[in-house]
């Protein structure tokens, strides 16, 4: 696609850089105070001004008449840059020149003094595409950059860069351009091109471009070519029928309606189309925020067309504000950072909305059984739970034993018909079905009891006593004294762990190794360890004695610590995490019963 308008209307000053004020201001200050770094990393989505800003920085560095960090656009050097003939700006597109040869030749040339100005600027676009060898060569240059050289590394995928490169660069994160800024910039371009476009038309273009000024300018160009220089909102809508994407808005509505199946299908389609899921998440949140404002009787902050206002009003008709808030919170908390290609956080957020929509546990379980046969692992390739994810259920999932081998995945993981993560998440963490522990359990109610047709339901109720005991409905827990002793000790596992860790690295590591209290009483506490090595280590006289002391101190009574190997034991941390899960809380608030303490880890082998 030609990018005539976008190129023609690249910003000529930092002041014209749309929507990246944080970057522009910092760079201007650096120029003013002569504190320009030797390497910059410009990270962010495409079309947000990374290369434009890089060229701008090169121009400003060599401008002989710079004023408050801004290039003058009039001196000889500036004119060279504007005409695209500046010798001291060397651009390399790593997408097409990935190899070591380019970087080697770059290294050799780096040593030469700039041709005309004071600085030589190397602008490497899509730098994450470089080969490892090329990275190493680049790194050597970054380690000892000649004083007259500035590197600008631009990338849409900063997470693919070696840490060594990142650590040697000053990083700027370019963000999607806010709607108002994009509209203003499009207005400038339209004015300059004598395109008369209705404000609503420009807004629609900017919305569709979802934060990419390049896309916005290209759309404006295309539409003006198709419909002439008098652009109405109808023109734009007609044109957008082919290119628009309003699925974020649709998903927001499905979430409010509690339509789990429809929503999961839609999320899968967005992922299958290769769209940026994080951007998708942002748009969902934007939409929900707009809906909340309309529900509150306000106009959306960004301004909206009358038609859109009517559409928003219709969408929130009959929707409770609490439902909107739940949806906003759920999608806002979805952590997409760890694995930008995983739909799982969005799937979970959607399920939380569906839960909050007033479904009972029974209904949800019934729906789960009928709509999603338990195929085991919900995450397909590339959908693994992010390490250290902020989303509790994932953290729990991650710690499941590897033996829970998923069946071969033949369909896309987010396809609701193929056993998506949500139903299992629900099953696993909101209303545990049964306990794997040996202690006697009350029979679970019929509708929750594990059945032959749902063997995948695990057994991992959170411990309700540690943090949310007050929420547990009457009768949901066993009351036997042995059980309550175990629970009482379990509730103290966090302070016990902290104390053990303070007492010695190894003690802390032991209690951090997949273990939980399995028996308590008669002056003894038995901790089950999943791995025999850990059980043996904890049984060693010195360790057992130290742990006895730690347990006694925290519990306020003398107890003897005993270790036992217990392959199926829960990890107390996973239980704690699950206990904090908002999904669980939501379920509890809706009356879901905690059937008994259990094992966050003991996913049934299958
Ligand atoms: Zn100048």
CA 14 to ligand 1 center in whole angstroms = 13
| Distance between Cα 76 and ligand 1 center (Å) | 7
Q: How far is the CA of 31 from the centre of ligand 1 (A)?
A: 13
Nearest CA-CA partner of 18 in 187, 169, 154, 170: 187
Instruction: Quote the pLDDT of residue 240.
Output: 65
Q: What is the rounded CA–CA span in Å between residue 95 and residue 495?
A: 52
pLDDT tens column, 386-441: 333 333 433 333 333 334 333 333 333 333 333 333 333 333 333 333 333 333 44
What are the pLDDT digits (tens) for 186-218? 999 999 999 999 988 998 888 888 788 888 999
pLDDT of residue 358: 55
SS (H, E, C) 164-188: HHHHCCEEEECCCCCHHHHHHHHHH
525 CA distance to ligand 1 centroid (A)? 76
List CB contacts of 601: < 8 A, sequence separation 6 or more. 399, 400, 401, 460, 514, 530, 568, 569, 570, 571, 574
CA of 90 to the centre of ligand 1 (A): 18
Cα separation, 44 vs 52, in Å, equals 13
pLDDT score of 562: 92
pLDDT band at 442, cuts 50/70/90? very low
pLDDT of 449 reads 38
As a whole number, mean pLDDT of residues 566-581 equals: 71
Q: How far is the CA of 60 from the centre of ligand 1 (A)?
A: 7
User: Where residue 36 falls among pLDDT bands split at 50, 70, 90?
Assistant: very high
Q: Ligand 1 centre from 85 Cα, in Å? A: 14
Q: Over 61-116, what HEC string results?
A: HHCCCCECCECCCCCHHHHHHHCCCCCCEEEEECCCCCCHHHHHHHHHHHCCCCCC
Q: What is the pLDDT of residue 590?
A: 54
φ, ψ (nearest 5 deg) of residue 54: -60, -45
Position 587 confidence tier, pLDDT thresholds 50, 70, 90: low
Query: How remote is the CA of residue 16 from the centroid of ligand 1, in Å?
Result: 16
pLDDT digits (tens, 9 = 90+) for 459-472: 334 333 333 333 33
**Residue 369: is its pLDDT beyond 60?**
no
Instruction: Write down how long the chain is.
Output: 606
Residue 212 or 100, more confident: 212
What structural domains does the chain harbor? 5-173 (3.40.50.300), 179-240 (1.10.8.60), 247-357 (1.20.272.10), 479-602 (3.30.300.180)
Q: Which residue has the higher pLDDT, 429 or 368?
A: 368
Distance 24 CA to ligand 1 centre (A): 17
Distance 32 CA to ligand 1 centre (A): 14
Cβ atoms within 10 Å of 331's Cβ, excluding its own: 26
Of the candidates 364, 348, 578, the residue with the CA atom closest to the CA atom of residue 459: 578
Q: Which long-range contacts (CB under 8 A, 24 or more apart) does 32-38 make?
A: 32/68, 32/69, 36/61, 36/119, 36/150, 37/150, 37/169, 37/170, 38/142, 38/145, 38/149, 38/150, 38/151
Closest-CA residue to 518 (of 459, 569, 468): 569
Question: Looking at the predicted structure, is the pLDDT value of residue 504 above 60?
Answer: yes
Instruction: Grade residue 73 by pLDDT with cuts at 50, 70 and 90.
Output: very high
Measured in Å, residue 62 CA sits from the centre of ligand 1 at 7
User: Which tops the pLDDT comparison, 440 or 505?
Assistant: 505
Distance 446 CA to ligand 1 centre (A): 79
SS3 category, 117: coil
Ligand 1 geometric centre to CA of 283 (Å): 40
Whether the CB-CB separation of 435 and 462 falls below 8 Å is answered with no
- Classified as helix, coil or strand, 196 is strand
Of 309-313, 491-495, 598-602, which range is least confident? 598-602
Chain-centre distance for alpha carbon 119: 38
Vertex 420, ends 417 and 423: CA angle to 5°?
100
**pLDDT at position 379:** 37
Digit-coded pLDDT (tens) for 170-179: 999 998 888 8
**Eight-state DSSP code of residue 604:** P
| Ligand 1 centroid from CA 155, angstroms | 27
CA of 12 to the centre of ligand 1 (A): 11
Whether the per-residue pLDDT at 581 is higher than 90: the answer is no
Task: Select the more confidently predicted residue: 274 or 22.
Answer: 22
Residue 270 pLDDT more than 90?
no
Q: What is the 3-state secondary structure (H, E, C) of 418-466?
A: HCCHHHHHHHHHCCCCCCCCCCCCCCCCCCCCCCCCCCCCCCCCCCHHH
Task: Residue 81: name the closest of 103, 59, 112 by CA.
Answer: 59
Taking the centre of ligand 1 as the mean of its atom positions, its distance from the CA of residue 3, in whole angstroms, is 26
Lowest-pLDDT range of 70-74, 338-342, 399-403, 565-569 = 399-403
pLDDT at position 480 is 58
pLDDT in tens, 541-561: 888 999 999 999 988 888 999
- CB proximity list for 505: less than 8 A, separation 6 or greater: none
Nearest CA to 172 out of 16, 295, 28 is that of 28
Q: Is 585 left (phi over 0), alpha (psi -120 to 50) or beta?
A: alpha
Instruction: Write out the DSSP string of 208-235.
Output: HHTT-HHHHHHHHHHHHHHH-SEE-HHH
Angstrom distance (rounded) from CA 430 to CA 593:
9
- Within 505-571, residue ranges assigned H as helices are 505-511, 532-539, 541-555
Query: Average pLDDT, stretch 327-347?
Result: 88
How far, in Å, CA of 277 to CA of 26, rounded?
29
pLDDT band at 3 (very low <50, low <70, confident <90, very high): low
What does pLDDT average to over the chain?
74
pLDDT score of 357 more than 70: no
Q: Could you tell me the pTM of the whole model?
A: 0.45
Distances (CA, A) of 71 to 39, 56, 65, 154, 458: 20, 8, 7, 21, 64
Q: Quick one: average pLDDT of 486-506?
A: 84
Say how many Å lie between the CA of residue 116 and the centre of ligand 1. 13
Using the mean position of ligand 1's atoms as its centre, give its distance from the Cα of residue 53 in Å.
Answer: 16
Distance (angstroms) between ligand 1 centre and the Cα of 74 equals 5
pLDDT at 281 over 50: yes
| Range among 75-79, 175-179, 235-239, 501-505 with highest mean pLDDT value | 75-79
Distance (Å) from CA 61 to ligand 1 centroid? 9
């Amino acid at each position: 696609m030609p990018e005539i308008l976008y190129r023609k209307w690249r910003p000529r000053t930092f002041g014209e850089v749309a929507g990246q004020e944080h970057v522009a201001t910092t760079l201007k200050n650096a120029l003013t105070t002569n504190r320009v770094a030797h390497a910059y990393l410009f990270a962010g989505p495409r079309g947000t001004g990374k290369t434009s800003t890089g060229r701008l920085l090169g121009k400003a560095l060599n401008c002989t008449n710079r004023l408050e960090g801004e290039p003058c656009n009039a001196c000889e050097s500036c004119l060279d840059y504007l005409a695209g003939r500046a010798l001291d700006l060397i651009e390399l597109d790593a997408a097409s020149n990935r190899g070591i040869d380019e970087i080697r030749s770059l290294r050799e040339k780096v040593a030469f003094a700039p041709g005309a100005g004071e600085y030589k600027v190397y602008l490497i676009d899509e730098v994450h595409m470089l080969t490892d060898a090329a990275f190493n060569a680049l790194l050597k240059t970054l380690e000892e950059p000649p004083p007259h050289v500035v590197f600008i590394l631009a990338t849409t995928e900063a997470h693919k860069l070696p840490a060594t490169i990142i650590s040697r660069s000053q990083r700027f994160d370019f963000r999607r351009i806010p709607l108002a800024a994009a509209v203003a910039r499009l207005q400038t371009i339209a004015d300059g091109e004598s395109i008369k476009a209705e404000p609503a038309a420009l807004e629609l273009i900017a919305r569709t471009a979802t934060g990419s000024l390049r896309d916005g300018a290209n759309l404006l160009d295309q539409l003006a070519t198709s419909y002439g220089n008098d652009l109405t909102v109808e023109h734009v809508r007609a044109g957008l029928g082919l290119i628009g994407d309003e699925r974020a808005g649709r998903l927001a509505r499905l979430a409010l309606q509690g339509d789990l199946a429809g929503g999961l299908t839609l999320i899968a389609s967005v992922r299958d189309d290769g769209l940026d899921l994080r951007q998708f998440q942002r748009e969902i949140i934007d939409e929900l925020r707009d809906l909340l404002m309309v529900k509150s009787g306000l106009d959306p902050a960004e301004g909206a067309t009358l038609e859109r206002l009517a559409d928003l009003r219709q969408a929130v008709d009959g929707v409770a504000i609490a439902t909107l808030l739940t949806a906003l919170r759920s999608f806002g908390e979805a952590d997409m950072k760890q694995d930008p290609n995983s739909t799982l956080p969005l799937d979970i957020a959607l399920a939380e909305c569906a839960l909050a929509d007033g479904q009972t546990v029974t209904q949800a379980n019934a729906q789960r059984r009928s709509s999603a046969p338990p195929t085991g692992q919900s995450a397909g390739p590339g959908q693994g739970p992010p390490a250290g994810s902020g989303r509790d259920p994932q953290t729990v999932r991650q710690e499941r034993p590897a033996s829970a081998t998923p069946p071969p995945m033949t369909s896309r993981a987010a396809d609701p018909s193929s056993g998506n993560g949500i139903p299992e998440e629900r099953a696993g963490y909101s209303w545990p079905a049964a306990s794997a522990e040996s202690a006697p359990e009350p029979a679970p109610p019929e509708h929750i009891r594990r059945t032959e047709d749902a063997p995948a339901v695990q057994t991992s109720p959170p411990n309700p006593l540690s943090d949310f005991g007050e929420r547990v409905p009457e009768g949901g827990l066993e009351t036997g004294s042995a059980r309550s002793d175990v629970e009482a000790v379990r509730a103290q596992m966090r302070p016990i762990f902290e104390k053990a860790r303070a007492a010695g690295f190894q003690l802390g590591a032991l209690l951090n190794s997949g273990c939980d209290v399995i028996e308590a009483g008669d002056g003894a506490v038995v901790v089950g360890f999943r791995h025999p090595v850990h059980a043996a280590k904890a049984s060693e006289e010195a360790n057992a004695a130290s742990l006895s002391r730690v347990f006694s101190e925290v519990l306020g009574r003398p107890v003897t610590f005993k270790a036992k190997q217990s392959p199926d034991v829960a990890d107390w941390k996973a239980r704690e995490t699950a206990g904090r899960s908002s999904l669980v809380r939501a379920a509890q608030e809706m009356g879901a019963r905690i059937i008994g303490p259990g094992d966050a880890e003991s996913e049934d082998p299958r």
